[in-house]
Structure 1
Amino acid sequence: MRATTAPGRAGPDRTVRLDHLVRLTTPTGLFEHALGSEPRVEHGMCVDDVARALVVMARSEHSDPEAEILTRTYLTFVRSAQRPGGLLHNRRSPDGQWLDEPSTDDHWGRAVWALGTAAAHLWDGELAAVAKLGATSALAARSPHPRAMAYAALGAVELLRADPRHGGALRLLDEARAVLPRPGSDLGWPWPEARLTYANAVLPEALMAVGDVFADDALLADGLGLLDWLVTVQTTDGHLSMVPAGGRGPDDDRPGFDQQPIEVAALAEAAARARRLTGDRAWDVVLERCTAWFEGDNDAGVPVRDAATGGGFDGLEPTGVNQNQGAESTLAWLACAQLVGAGRPRAAR
C-alpha cells in the first residue's frame, strides 16, 4: 500500500500509513481489537469501526488496487448490515454472522456518515452509487440518541454534495435542526449534558453543519461557540488534555485518564469543519494540537501512535499508553493525519 502525506504542514511526519489498518482487515471486514499489534480475532468486528474506516478511505487520495480492495470491503460490510426501514446490525462474527438485532444506535449514525461521505467522495462512480443507495436506505430511520443523529446529520450533509436535492437527506437535516442539543444557559458549563462523555465534538460539529446547510446563523453560532468552549476546557498549558474514558463533569479533577484517541479525532473533525466554514485560522491551531497529542504533546508526554505502521494506541495512561492497537484508535490517528492539511476554506455550496 502506498503511503500518502497529509498536505500543508512541515515538521513531524504526518504520513498516512495504512500498514496496520491492512493488518486488521480481512475479506470479511475489520477486526475491532488487537493484542499489541495482532488482531484479536475472537472479538469480531463492528459497523462502528468499519464505518470509520470507510470515511478515511473515501477521503483518501489512494486510487491503487489495494486501496480499492479496502474500500470495497468496508462498503460491502456496511451495506450487508442494513435491514428494511433503515435499521442496521452492528456486531459481526469473524465468519460473517450478525450477532445483534438491527437498531438505530450510534453505529447507525456512523454508517450514515460513512455512506454519505463515500457517495460524495469516492473516486469510483460505481462504488459511489452503491454508497448513495445505502445512505438513502439508512435515512429512512431515526434515532433517539443525540450522537447518532449528529453523525447521521454529517452523513446527510455529505450526501447533499452528491445530490443537492436529496429529499431524505434534507428531511433528516430539518428534523436534526429541531432535536440536536443546544448550549445551556450556564456560562460556566454550557454543555447540554451534565457530563462530557464520548465523541463529544460531534455535537457542535453537527450544529455547524446543519446551520450551514440552512443558512441558520444562530445554529452555526451555537455550534462554533460550543466547540470553542469544548476546546478551552480540554486545553492545558498549550496542549490537549482530553476527557477520560469515564467522562468529565464540571468539578472533576484534571487531568483524567485513560484518555481516548476517538475524542481527539472527533475534535479534529469539528475543528476542520469550523476552519472550512469560517476561514478562521485559529482552528488550524486546534488541528495542530490534535495531531500533536498523538505525537506526544499530551499529559503523559508520550506518542499515542506508531509512526512506522500507522497504528494508534488504545489509550493515554498517566505514565504511558495502552500498547494495544485496535481499529478505533488506529482510525482516530489516521483521520487526524488526514485532516491536518484539510482544514482550508472552501466556497459555500
Structure 2
Amino acid sequence: MVQSMTRPFLSDYLKRLTDDTGIFQHTKFGIPDRNKGYTSDDNARALIAAVMLYKSRKDAESLNLIRTYLAFIHHAQNEEGSFRNFMDYNRMFIEKTGSEDCLGRCLWALGFTLAESAVPDNLRNTCRYMINQALPRLRSLGSPRAMAYALIGLTSMLETPDALSYSFPYPGKESDDPSFLPRAEIELLVKELAMRLHTQYESNKGNGWHWFENSITYGNAMLPWALLKASNFSHTEQYRQTAKESLDFLASITFSKEGYFKPVGSHGWLERGGEAALYDEQPIEASEMLLACFAAYKILGNHTYLVHASTCYEWFHGRNSLNESLIDAQSGACYDGIHAVGLNLNQGSENIVSYCMAHMVMHHE
C-alpha cells in the first residue's frame, strides 16, 4: 500500500519554490533556478494546487500561496484579456503575449478558484474580473488543448451556483451590469468549444486510431476530460461517447500490460501508426491522466476509471517502469521524470504541483 506524506510536508516544497513574486519555473536539483524565472503556466497550476490545499486545511499558509499565485496571473494579464507567460527574475515579462495554451491554463485555474466557495470572496472577485477580461479571446482559440483547459475552467464555474453572482462595481461598470460574466455567453462558449473538439475528433479518428490529432503528445488527458465535463453540463451524448472512446484509447496506450502507468515519452511522442516514445516520462502526464480518470469515474460510474486513477497515483510512488519513487523522502519534492538512464534529479515546480493535485484528489475528494 502507498505510504503518502503528511499534508504539511506536501506543501513545504511548494513554499520553498515560491517567493513574493510567484513560483519558480525550474530548479537545479532542489534549489530554484533564478536564471529561468517564472511562468504563468506554472503559477496557474500552482494556484489550483493551493486552492485544493486550502479547501482541505483552511489555513493561512495555503491562503497566502493562493494570493501570491493569483497576483502573478493578474500581473500577467494584458488589457485585452490575453496573458503573458515567461517572466525573468527581474520581474520583467520577456514576451508581449503567451501561447493559447497559456490562456487556457489560466482560465482553468481562475475558473477552478472561482468555483471553490472556501476561497474568500475578495479573491473570487479577482477571478471574476480576470475571466471577464479573457472571455472575448476564447472564441478564436485554435489549439485543442487550449480549448480543453478553458472548457474545464468554464464548466467548473457553471457547475457552481454562486460563481457568476457578484456584488461589486469595477472600473467603468455598475455591479448589476448584464455584460459582466454573462451566463448565456459562457454557456454558448462551452457549446462551441466542445463541438469544435468533437468535430476535430471525428475528422481524425479511424482505422483503430481514436484520437483528436494524428499524434499523441502532451496534455493528452485534458481533451477527453474537457469533453466529459462538457457532456455532463450540456447532457450531450455524442460528447460523452467521444470522451469515453478517446480516454479508453489513451488508457490502452499508457497502461502497461505489467499493470503500471507509462505515459507517452516526450522525446518523440507517438505518431499515428508508429510506436510510443519510451522516455521521458513526465509527472504532469500522470497527474492529468489521474484527474481525467477520476472525473470519468464520478461521471460515468465505472469503477475501472478509479483503478486507473489509483494506478496513476502509484506511478509517483514507485509503481512505474523504473520501480523507483519520484517523491524525494527528504524534501517532499517530486523529481522531474523518468529518463532512459534513470530519474531526472531536478525538482521543478511543474512536478510538485502535479503531485500535489494528484495527492489531494485521491485523498480528499
- Shared topology, TM-score over 0.5? yes
Q: Considering only CA atoms, is the larger Rg found in Structure 1 or Structure 2? A: 2
Report whether the alignment pairs 1:86 with 2:108.
no
* Structure 2 equivalent of residue 346 of structure 1: none
Give 3-state SS (helix, strand or coil) of 1:170's partner. Answer: helix
| 1:123 aligned residue (111, 119, 125) | 119
Return the letter of the residue paired with 1:317.
Answer: H
Identical pairs, percent:
29
Report whether the alignment pairs 1:222 with 2:242.
yes
| Rounded Cα–Cα distance in structure 2 between residues aligned with 1:185 and 1:93 | 41
The Cα shift of 1:300 comes to 1.2
Deviates more, 1:166-175 or 1:241-250: 166-175
| Rounded Cα–Cα distance in structure 1 between residues aligned with 2:47 and 2:15 | 13
Residue 80 to residue 186, structure 1, CA distance change in 2 (3 Å): same
The Cα shift of 1:262 comes to 1.1
* Structure 1 equivalent of residue 132 of structure 2: 136
* Structure 1 equivalent of residue 173 of structure 2: none
**Contact persistence 1:89–1:100 (CA under 8 A):** yes
Report whether the alignment pairs 1:211 with 2:202.
no
* Structure 2 equivalent of residue 347 of structure 1: none
Deviation per residue, 1:84-139 (Å, 9 max, x gap):
22211001122321111124521110000000011111421211121122122222
Give 3-state SS (helix, strand or coil) of 1:98's partner. Answer: coil
**1:20-35 paired onto structure 2 within 5 Å:** 20-35=13-28
Report whether the alignment pairs 1:174 with 2:202.
no
The Cα shift of 1:172 comes to 2.0
Which stretches in structure 1 are left out of the alignment for 5+ residues? Answer: 1-9, 344-349
**Contact persistence 1:32–1:326 (CA under 8 A):** yes
* Structure 2 equivalent of residue 242 of structure 1: 263
| Rounded Cα–Cα distance in structure 2 between residues aligned with 1:98 and 1:167 | 34
Deviates more, 1:209-218 or 1:173-182: 173-182
How many corresponding residue pairs? 334
Return the letter of the residue paired with 1:245.
Answer: S
**1:283-322 paired onto structure 2 within 5 Å:** 283-322=305-344
**Contact persistence 1:245–1:257 (CA under 8 A):** yes
After superposition, the CA RMSD in angstroms is 1.8
TM-score by length of 2: 0.87
The Cα shift of 1:249 comes to 2.5
Return the letter of the residue paired with 1:303.
Answer: S
Which stretches in structure 2 are left out of the alignment for 5+ residues? Answer: 166-181
Report whether the alignment pairs 1:67 with 2:68.
no
**1:164-203 paired onto structure 2 within 5 Å:** 166-180=183-197, 181-183=200-202, 184-203=204-223
* Structure 2 equivalent of residue 102 of structure 1: 97
Residue 317 to residue 266, structure 1, CA distance change in 2 (3 Å): same
Report whether the alignment pairs 1:327 with 2:365.
no
Deviation per residue, 1:211-244 (Å, 9 max, x gap):
1111101101110111111011111111111110
**Contact persistence 2:228–2:240 (CA under 8 A):** yes
Deviation per residue, 1:268-301 (Å, 9 max, x gap):
1111111121222211101111111111111111
Report whether the alignment pairs 1:272 with 2:267.
no
* Structure 1 equivalent of residue 44 of structure 2: 51
| Rounded Cα–Cα distance in structure 2 between residues aligned with 1:254 and 1:178 | 28
* Structure 2 equivalent of residue 158 of structure 1: 156
**Contact persistence 2:201–2:213 (CA under 8 A):** no
Deviates more, 1:162-171 or 1:202-211: 162-171
| Rounded Cα–Cα distance in structure 1 between residues aligned with 2:2 and 2:86 | 40
Q: Which has the higher contact order (CA 8 A, sep 6+)?
A: 1
| Rounded Cα–Cα distance in structure 2 between residues aligned with 1:169 and 1:308 | 45
Residue 70 to residue 219, structure 1, CA distance change in 2 (3 Å): same
Residue 119 to residue 330, structure 1, CA distance change in 2 (3 Å): same
